[in-house]
Every structure is written in C-alpha cells, then in structure tokens.
Amino acid sequence: MTNATQRIYLWHRFTLREAVLLCFCATFIVLTRAGLRLHLNLPGHVMFFTMFFFLLARGCVPKVGSATLVGLITSLASVMLGMGAGGPMVLVKFLLPALVVEVAGIVSPAFVTSMLACAAVGVLAAGVRAGANTGVEWLIGMDEEIMLRKAAVSAALNGLFGGLGSLAVPSVIRRLRANGLIDQGTGTR
C-alpha cells in the first residue's frame, strides 16, 4: 500500500493513508456500537462487529500495530463521544482483544484469509475482553468462585459473538484483494 511519494506518518511503519484507513475502521466500530446500544441489550453482542473490524483492519493493513492502533483510536473516540463509562477501563477493553489479534498476526501473518484461524482468533480475543471486567471484580474483592463463573458466562457470550463476526472476514478480504483495493499480503497493492 505504500508508494514512493508517501511518507511514514506514525510509529515508524504506517503511512498517513494507512493510518487514516485504520482510524476509519475505528469509526465503524464506534458506529456499530452506537447502533447496537440503541436496539439490543444482549451481553457481548458488541464483539460481533468489533472483532470483524479489528480483523479487517489487520487484513487491509498487514503490519504489526494495526489492530492496536484501531483499538487505541476506538477507545479514545468512545470516551470522547460519551460511550465509555469505565474511563481508563475502556482502553483496556479495546486494547486486550487488539493485542490478541496482533499476536496472531505475528505468529501467522496470513491468518486473515483462513476462516478457521479468524474464528479462533475472534473467539479468543473476544473472550479475553471479558477479562477486563473480571479484573475490576477482582479489584473490588468479589468471591473467586462467583467471579470465575461470571467470567466464564461473559467470555462464552463474547466469544460466541466475536467468533461469528470474524467468520466473514476472509471472504471480504479476498474480494478486496481480488479487486486490487488492498495489499495482497505480500507488500504489493
């Protein structure tokens, strides 16, 4: 995606175009969260689109740090728009799944084209997000047994929605690549 006229803009790896594209992925997460919060009250449902756009961002900009940047911008934008009651906890809630996507990207750079790998990463990353709430509960001294039961229910629901959202990523990535709109995964557009 980088050509000769584009300067590196952020973190010694992203051009301005890539950074703006990633911030648009964050915009979509914010938009879908806002849309869902007005209609649904299902626990964990926000992970459906959150994981979809995290993985899509990793597929569109296949560089280390892309999912983290999306997570960072999403959390800051959520706080600005009054969607993050947890304050600093919002940062943790978005950065934890983003870091799981990063690790998956480092281990297997081409995982976004595999449906199975995407589903596994989606379930794991969305499940890890439930850990942020468990951290708060541990901090306020909740009984360990109850905390773990609650965390298991929360992680299962988050994982379910996250996994379902991630399943669609490979086909979308393939179609974007087939039309030459994004990096082919080999550094060429």
End-to-end CA separation in angstroms for the chain: 5
Residues in the interface with other proteins (CB under 8 A) total: 63
Identify the burial level of 35 via C-beta atoms within 10 angstroms of its C-beta, where 0-12 means exposed, 13-18 middle and 19 or more buried: exposed
Q: Mask: binding to other proteins, 123-162, rule CB under 8 A, as x and -?
A: -------------xx-xxxxx-xx--xx--x---------
In this chain, which stretch among 91-99, 107-115, 119-127, 166-174 interacts with other proteins, using CB under 8 A?
166-174
Three-state SS annotation for 74-112? HHHHHHHCCCCCCCHHHHHHHHHHHHHHHHHHHHCCCHH
Q: Which two tokens stand for residue 22?
A: 């990633």
Name which of 96 and 151 has its Cβ closer to other proteins: 151
Q: Would you count residue 85 as binding other proteins (CB under 8 A)? A: yes
**Contacting other proteins (CB under 8 A), which of 2, 13, 76, 114?**
76
CA distance 76 to 69: 11
DSSP state, residue 7: P
Q: Would you count residue 42 as binding other proteins (CB under 8 A)? A: no
Angle formed at CA 129 by CA 100 and CA 75, multiple of 5 degrees = 90
CB of 80 vs other proteins, minimal distance in Å: 5
**Interface positions with other proteins (CB under 8 A):** 6-7, 9-10, 15-28, 30-31, 37-39, 41, 52, 56, 60, 69, 72-74, 76-77, 79-87, 89, 136-137, 139-143, 145-146, 149-150, 153, 164, 168, 171-172, 175-176, 181-182
